[in-house]
Structure 1
């Protein structure tokens, strides 16, 4: 992970606002979160500033959100961060940045849902609304939103690492879920809009249910199974069937098999990120452990320590 040479401070961000969006420059400003690619600073009560600070790809992800999300947001039943302004690269900060609406809530890795039926319905309604045919020119899904075979090498490496670290009570059970997904027929419908990164830190909760979805940097046209995987990772025990009953159109067996494989791969990645956090390694997030363990238990029927 390579961070920008410029230290991101409130003073720097306020200077950038004065230069390019002076009508916003005097609002209260405070650090909201440091993500994989971007830092989020709250700007007043209803806005936020997102600036890339890690990975070269962060610039393109922000520009993609700015280009596509404003048209999608009005059709989504949960609040999302809608881009309002674009910050151009400058001498002070040589990368693009955006001003978005602020979405209140607590990330689900820190505040899991407790109202299972409400959360299942909210997630199903959100994905039903999002999963519409994407227009020509939409970014094409790869990795998590592409063919499962594209993830095979990464899955094998992560499975081996998690096994070596003793994180999995039954690696063969996890492998079996993955191999069954690989054997499932591929998506043969039109490429649909997918979020493609619905891990617990990218969906917000309040009062025991979901209240918002954030970080659309991986937004693309692809296989809806990549998002349907979230049912196993985000929902409490016993809520997956309620989600599938509410989602439209009802997913067929092949799509559910691919979704299970994506869920296993996503949970495996979350388990390793949590382990890195427990050991104090850079980029580690201990709060990702419990949802990853729960997802793998649901998928395999085995208990994780």
Structure 2
């Protein structure tokens, strides 16, 4: 990427707006957050600007949101950032960027859901609405939504890294859960729409329940187990069974086993990112560590 986090600022965004969307240029700008691929700036009270800044895939993921999310958003029961305008690459900023609706709430890595039953029902309702059969030309994910065997090498890498850092007290139990998930029958139903990246920083809360979902850059089609992993990552203790019962498809045992595998993989990744935040390494987000620890605790506690 040409631009870095430090080179994107309010002055640059105001110039981009004046050049391409002048009717929005006088709205106040405040920094919101920077994710793995994009920066988010609040624009007035109701809008936000998302600009790619970090990875080679950022442009593609942002354009995918702009193309696909407006048609899906009206059918979802939680607020999501709906693209309103597309900014074109220019000499001032050589990447596409978008103006979306602003979604209010606190990221769940900072303000976890606490109302277990209500949060389980809310998450289940959102995924029920999202997990509709996708068209044949729907995008496939970046190692998301396919067979777990496709990410087995990645799992081994992340388990080795987290174990070497002393973040995994019981690696044998973790391997047991993963091998059980790998052995579960593959998904044979239709490929459904997936968020693809439901970790605690991408879902928002208010008053102990979920109120919004953000960052649809990994929107894709595939096995619903990839998203159902969110139950272990996002819900408080004791709510996972309620979540499975509330989800419309009445999750079968094989799908739950695969979802446990996806939850395990995501927890390992979040552990590494969280540890990097604690020790000040680039890309680290210390707030990702505690939810990942809780996820591993829930998964290993139910290992038989």
TM-score range, shorter chain: over 0.9
- How far residue 136 of structure 1 moved from its aligned partner, in angstroms, is 2.6
Distance 2:290 2:113 in 1: 13
After TM superposition, give the deviation of residue 19 of structure 1 in Å.
0.8
Matches within 5 A, 1:9-158: 9-158=9-158
How much does 1:3 deviate?
Answer: 5.8
Deviations 1:72-108 (A, max 9, x none): 0000000000000000001111100000000000000
Residue by residue, what CA displacement relative to the aligned partner does 1:270-300 show, whole Å, maximum 9, x if unpaired?
Answer: 1111111111101111111111011111111
CA contact (8 A) 2:106 2:205 kept: yes
State whether residues 142 and 218 of structure 2, in contact with CA within 8 Å, keep that contact through their aligned partners in structure 1: no
1:143 alignment partner, SS class: coil
SS of 2:41's equivalent in the other structure is strand
Query: Counterpart of 2:85 in 1: which secondary structure?
Result: strand
Query: CA offsets, 1:217-244, max 9 Å, x none?
Result: 0000011000000000100000000100
TM-score under structure 1 length normalisation: 0.97
Runs ≥4 residues deviating over 6 A:
none
Does the 8 Å contact 1:132/1:193 carry over to 2? yes
Residues of 2 paired with 1:21 and 1:134: CA distance? Answer: 33
Contact 1:31 1:40 in 2 (8 A): yes
* Per-residue deviation, 1:215: 0.1
Work out whether 1:270 is the aligned partner of 2:281. Answer: no
Cα distance in 2 for residues equivalent to 1:124 and 1:12: 40
Report Cα offsets for 1:153-197 as digits up to 9, x if no partner: 110011111111111111011111111010011111111000010
Cα distance between partner residues in 2 of 1:168 and 1:3 = 37
d(CA) in 2 for partners of 1:163 and 1:31? Answer: 36
Q: 1:179 matched to which residue of 2?
A: 179
**What TM-score results when the alignment is normalised by the length of structure 2?**
0.97
Q: What is the count of residue pairs matched by the alignment?
A: 302
- Segments of 5+ residues of structure 2 without an aligned counterpart are none
